Amino acid sequence: QVKLQQSGAELVKPGASVKLSCKTSGYTFSTSYMSWFKQIPGQSIEWIGMIYAGDGGTGYNQKFKGKATLTVDTSSSTAYMDLSSLTTEDSAVYFCADYPGRYWGQGVMVTVSS
Amino acid sequence: DIVMTQAPLSVSVTPGESASISCRSSKSLLHSNGITYVYWYLQKPGKSPQLLIYRMSNLASGVPDRFSGSGSETDFTLKISRVEAEDVGIYYCGQLLENPFTFGSGTKLEIK
């Protein structure tokens, strides 16, 4: 069956960066799109951006340009999201999901705190 | 950005009765290809969102046919017939027509 397995919870200091992973199985990753989302607990969902695994082409929400960088490794069917210059406002749960959201990762909590 | 406005904020339903959730977009979600790019998701407590309806009225795989989606270019409705206890959670509408994809603020469904 299809599975999107995200990396574990992160506790990072302000100003640092973090790289989140989303390892997929059960479907053809290399010709698929992967989106990333941010959700602050108790709030709605924000779309960060999307990457096409076939050629690495990306589309970002303007709000997250410079904050998030999406990449893929087709050899391991894994998608990555780098978050840089973290502040407390980046503390949230981050999800990966295929387009249009048939399959979702379990989410990963990122906490930015000194 | 396209704004998605949901109503009500919360709904309390007796098991076996129906519930409807509305969603309005600030711009037409009808593409020139004839597809309306509105989607409905359910996020159960402590879980990831799950897709219920895609392209306004298509039932996602594995979703009970108690769920249905309808609408026009800017006004959309999710209907849940014969509500069950397992339907509790927060329902979100979202538009995947243009960047950035945006979502409503959510409607919380509770069981009476």
- pLDDT per position as a tens digit, A20-55: 999 999 999 999 999 999 999 999 999 999 999 999
Which residues share a beta bridge with A7?
none
What pLDDT is stored for residue A24 in this prediction?
98
Q: Is A62 helix (H, G, I), strand (E, B) or coil?
A: helix
Rounded to a whole number, what is the distance in Å from the CA of B55 to chain A's nearest CA?
A: 10
What pLDDT is stored for residue A65 in this prediction?
97
What pLDDT is stored for residue B84 in this prediction?
97
> Cβ contact (<8 Å) for B49 and A46?
no
Measured between CB atoms, does A86 come within 8 Å of chain B? no
Alpha-carbon gap, residue B32 to B37, rounded angstroms: 11
Looking at beta carbons, which residues of chain B come within 8 Å of A100?
39, 51, 54, 96
Instruction: State mean pLDDT over A62-86.
Output: 98
Measured between CB atoms, does B105 come within 8 Å of chain A? yes
Give per-residue pLDDT as tens, A5-21. Answer: 999 999 999 999 999 99
What pLDDT is stored for residue A31 in this prediction?
94
Alpha-carbon gap, residue A15 to B36, rounded angstroms: 41
Length of chain A: 114
Length of chain B: 112
What pLDDT is stored for residue A15 in this prediction?
98
- B76 pLDDT band, cuts 50/70/90, is very high
Measured between CB atoms, does A52 come within 8 Å of chain B? no
Instruction: State mean pLDDT over A70-90.
Output: 98
Which residues share a beta bridge with B39?
B94
B41, B61, B100 ranked by CB distance to A101: nearest: B41
Residue A89 in tokens = 């406002």
What pLDDT is stored for residue A10 in this prediction?
97
Kind and range of the H or E run holding B28: none
> Cβ contact (<8 Å) for B103 and A46?
yes
Measured between CB atoms, does B94 come within 8 Å of chain A? yes
Taking CA atoms, A61 is separated from A36, A91, A103, B46, B88, in Å, by 10, 18, 21, 26, 30
Alpha-carbon gap, residue A51 to A91, rounded angstroms: 22
- B69 pLDDT band, cuts 50/70/90, is very high
Query: Over chain A, what is the mean pLDDT?
Result: 97
Alpha-carbon gap, residue B54 to B30, rounded angstroms: 13
Are β-strands B10-13 and B38-43 bridged in parallel, bridged antiparallel, or unpaired?
unpaired
Interface-testing mutation among A1, A39, A45, A62, with chain B (most B C-beta atoms within 10 A): A45
Can you say whether residue B107 is alpha, beta or left, with left for phi > 0 and alpha for psi between -120 and 50 degrees?
A: beta
Looking at beta carbons, which residues of chain A come within 8 Å of B39?
100-101
Instruction: State mean pLDDT over A82-107.
Output: 97
- Above pLDDT 90, what percent of chain A? 100
Select from B83, B81, B88, B54 the least CA-distant residue to B66.
B81
What residues 1-30 of chain A have any CB closer than 8 A to a CB of chain B?
A: none
| Triad B105, B34, A101: Cα angle to 5° | 40
Instruction: State mean pLDDT over B10-29.
Output: 98
Kind and range of the H or E run holding B48: none
Amino acid at B99: N
